[in-house]
């Protein structure tokens, strides 16, 4: 007989506020754990009662001033010290069934942290749009959360990490929830530690989201100049975001330059090629756009990192190539790409109309 797999004590922990509608689904998904702990940070709906009804260990504490790291650490403090494995999730997330067995098979006594597949977003057809490896499963001892927002786990010694891509956590966010607190928290985070490259990148990205173009450019250039900003994929994203800011300022030449820098920084990622091709299409530079998209399509694998964006892999890139081919009078090729776009987005009326226009051109 084979050696019996060791059974570990596994505890899920989370923070929440006003997430009553997610409680039942979340608890059902997390129930493969031995125990579930939740720190409620001031719900005014029925979240706490529903969690307690379903057997969850709940504590309520208002964190003021609000910081995600403080809340996460207080929720982790609820987990008993004899736990072997801690699993940090949010109530708008759900594991695919069977995750506990996979976790116990992948974990050994010397492991401190585990990476797993995280589907951060889905398209309108329920297909994963942004997927990367997450790593919020960790040993009980030694770990703590840091940073007011986009908080990270830190460990005082050498980490031993394993990866189990078969463990899948899906994210189904409440899009009605405001992320308005993120910007001031990111500003606080960068003020607390101006040498932290990840949060400098996040702050620049947040400025871009808010249309604060000049602040975005300045902050993202600061990110690129930090000695610790060495990850090419994140540097590439900062360059793309700088380009977007210049587009927002109606300065396409600078945008083009930064997209080209992004391509040189991480030529294995599709996003920069696709965004620059879109800029060239707007400028009627169809041959240049065509060459860029040809390069993008040569990249067959989506990197399992949070940097990847849906537009480089979904209907958008195929529709874009269809439009470029149409303007180059490559009508049969244009139709092939547009039909592929329609296959990925069958309810898109614009793409349907584009297919009809191209068909008429071919048959005229």
Q: What is the pLDDT of residues 234-253, one digit of tens each?
A: 999 999 999 999 999 999 99
Residue 5 has a pLDDT of 61
CB-based contact 339:309 (threshold 8 Å): no
Residue 329 has a pLDDT of 97
Of residues 322 and 179, more confidently modeled: 322
Q: If you search the block for the tokens 């570990």, which residue do you land on? A: 8
Bridge partners of 13? 37, 88
Fold type of domain 10-171: Spore Coat Polysaccharide Biosynthesis Protein SpsA; Chain A (3.90.550)
- The mean pLDDT of the chain is 95
Residue 4 has a pLDDT of 52
User: pTM (2 decimals)?
Assistant: 0.89
Domain positions in the chain: 10-171, 182-313
For β-strands 152-154 and 144-146, DSSP reports them as antiparallel
Residue 1 has a pLDDT of 38
Q: What CATH superfamily classification does 182-313 receive?
A: Tetratricopeptide repeat domain (1.25.40.10)
Cα four-point dihedral sign 197, 199, 203, 205: positive
| pLDDT interval class at 277 (50, 70, 90) | very high
Mean pLDDT in residue range 25-41: 98
- % of the chain exceeding 90 in pLDDT: 92
| pLDDT interval class at 280 (50, 70, 90) | very high
Mean pLDDT in residue range 34-55: 97
φ, ψ at 359 (rounded to 5°) = -60, -45
Residue 3 above 60 pLDDT? no
Residue 93 has a pLDDT of 98
């Amino acid at each position: 007989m084979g050696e019996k797999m060791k059974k570990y004590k596994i505890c899920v922990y989370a923070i929440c506020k006003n997430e009553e509608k997610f409680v039942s689904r979340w608890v059902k998904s997390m129930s493969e754990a031995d125990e579930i702990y939740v720190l409620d940070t001031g719900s005014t709906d029925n979240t706490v009662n529903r969690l307690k009804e379903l057997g969850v260990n709940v504590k309520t504490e208002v964190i003021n001033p609000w910081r995600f790291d403080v809340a996460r650490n207080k929720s982790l403090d609820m987990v008993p010290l004899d736990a072997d494995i801690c699993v940090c999730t949010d109530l708008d997330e759900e594991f695919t069934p069977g995750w506990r067995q996979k976790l116990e098979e992948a974990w050994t006594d010397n492991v401190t942290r585990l990476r797993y597949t995280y589907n951060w977003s889905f398209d309108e057809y329920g297909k994963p749009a942004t997927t990367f490896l997450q790593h919020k499963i960790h040993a009980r001892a030694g770990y703590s959360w840091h940073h007011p927002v986009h908080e990270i786990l830190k460990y005082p010694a050498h980490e031993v990490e394993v990866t189990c891509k078969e463990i899948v956590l899906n994210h189904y966010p409440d899009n009605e929830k405001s992320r308005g607190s993120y910007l001031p928290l990111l500003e606080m985070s960068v003020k607390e530690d101006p040498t932290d490259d990840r949060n400098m990148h996040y702050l620049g990205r947040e400025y871009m989201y808010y249309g604060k173009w000049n602040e975005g450019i300045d902050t993202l250039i600061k990110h690129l100049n930090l000695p610790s900003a060495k990850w090419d994929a994140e540097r590439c994203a900062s360059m793309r975001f700088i380009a977007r800011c210049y587009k927002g300022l109606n300065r396409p030449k600078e945008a083009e330059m930064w997209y080209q820098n992004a391509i040189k920084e991480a030529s294995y990622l599709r996003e920069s090629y696709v965004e620059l091709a879109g800029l060239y299409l707007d400028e009627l530079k169809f041959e240049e756009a065509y060459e860029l998209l040809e390069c993008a399509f040569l990249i067959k694998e989506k990197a399992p990192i949070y940097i990847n964006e849906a537009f480089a892999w979904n209907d958008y890139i195929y529709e874009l190539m269809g439009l470029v081919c149409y303007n180059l009078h490559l009508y049969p090729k244009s139709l092939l790409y547009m039909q592929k776009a329609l296959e990925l987005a069958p309810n898109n009326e614009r793409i349907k109309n584009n297919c009809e226009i191209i068909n008429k051109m071919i048959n005229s």
